[in-house]
Amino acid sequence: MAPRDDDRDQHRLSTGHVVSLPLELACTFGGVVVPARRTRLEEVLPDELSSPGIAPRVGCVALVGIQYHRVGRDPGLEPYDEFAVIVPAVRGSETSRPLAQLLGGEPGGYVHWLPVTTDASVALGRELWGYPKERAPITVTDGPRGLRAVVRGRDASGDAIRLEVSRPRTGLSLRGAELSSFTVRGGDLVRARMQLRGEVSVGPPIGARLKVAPELASELGLWRRPLGRLYGSRVRARLGRGEPVSSL
C-alpha cells in the first residue's frame, strides 16, 4: 500500500529539486557478481561491516548497470543512468566463517562507488543518504539481447568498466522483497531499506561479459570471471530514509 501524502518526508536538494521519502523508482538493471579477495574487501569496508565469505579467503562484489525510468513522484527528477559497485556485507556478525556470518548478523550491501549521469542524482544520493555518487560519463542501454553498460575512466583514457548482461528467458517474481544498503554519512554508518517489485532473474553468468580497469580490479581484488548474473526489467522500487545505526 502506498504511503499517504501526509506520511511522506519532503526534502529540497541543493539543486532546487524537491523529493519525497520513501522515494519511488522504476528502473531496468543488469549486473554480475564477481569473486574477490576478502582481505581487499575488508580494507574498504567500515569496521562495523564484514565481507561474507563464499569460500575461504574469498568474498564477492556486485557490479550493476542501472537505467532509471522514473525517479520520485511527478514531476520528480529527470531519468538518469547509474553504475553501482556494491560489496555484500554483514553487520554485527560474531564469526568470520564463510556463510555462517549470515546467521548471526544483518546482511546488506555496502555502496563502494556510484557514478551517475546528472547533477541532480548526485545531490539526491549524497544529501539524503551519503551515497558516494559522482557524475561520470556512463551509458546504459537495454535492448532485445540484454543490457550493456560502459563507464568511462576519470582521465578519459579508456573505459573503467564495460559490462554486458544477456536478457534471460525467465525470471523470478519479487513481491515485497527488501534489501538493505549501507554507507557512511557524517561519521555514522547509515542503513537504508529498499522494497522491490517486478521480474528479476538471478542465475549463472551465461552470456555475461565484464571488463574492469586494472586499478579498480586491484583495489577490490576482483577475479576475472563472474560468478552469477542479475537482470531486472521495469522493476519498481521504494527507497526509505537513511537511518544511522552506529558511529564510526
* DSSP character string of 15-46: TS-EEEESEEEEEEEEEEEEEEEHHHHHHHS-
Q: What are 217's three cell numbers?
A: 580490479
pLDDT at residue 4, rounded to an integer: 47
The number of beta carbons lying within 10 Å of the beta carbon of residue 243 is 13
Q: Minimum mean pLDDT among 2-16, 40-54, 61-75, 76-90: which range?
A: 2-16
pLDDT at residue 218, rounded to an integer: 96
Percent of all residues in the chain with a pLDDT value above 90, rounded to a whole number = 72
Q: How far apart are CA 6 and CA 3, in angstroms?
A: 8
Domain residues of the chain, as ranges?
Answer: 12-247
Architecture label for domain 12-247: Beta Barrel (2.40)
Is it the case that residue 209 has pLDDT exceeding 50?
yes
pLDDT tens digits for 232-245? Answer: 988 999 999 999 99
pLDDT at residue 99, rounded to an integer: 56
Is it the case that residue 5 has pLDDT exceeding 50?
no
pLDDT tens digits for 49-61? Answer: 999 988 889 999 9
Q: How far apart are CA 228 and CA 149, in angstroms?
A: 17
pLDDT at residue 176, rounded to an integer: 73
pLDDT tens digits for 92-121? Answer: 865 556 555 556 678 999 999 999 999 999
Close Cβ partners of 243 (under 8 Å, ≥ 6 residues apart) = 190, 191, 192
- The winner for highest mean pLDDT among 5-19, 129-143, 197-211 is 129-143
pLDDT at residue 17, rounded to an integer: 94
pLDDT at residue 3, rounded to an integer: 43
Q: How far apart are CA 19 and CA 8, in angstroms?
A: 10
pLDDT at residue 2, rounded to an integer: 45
Tell me what the mean pLDDT of segment 192-204 comes to: 91
Mean pLDDT of the chain: 89
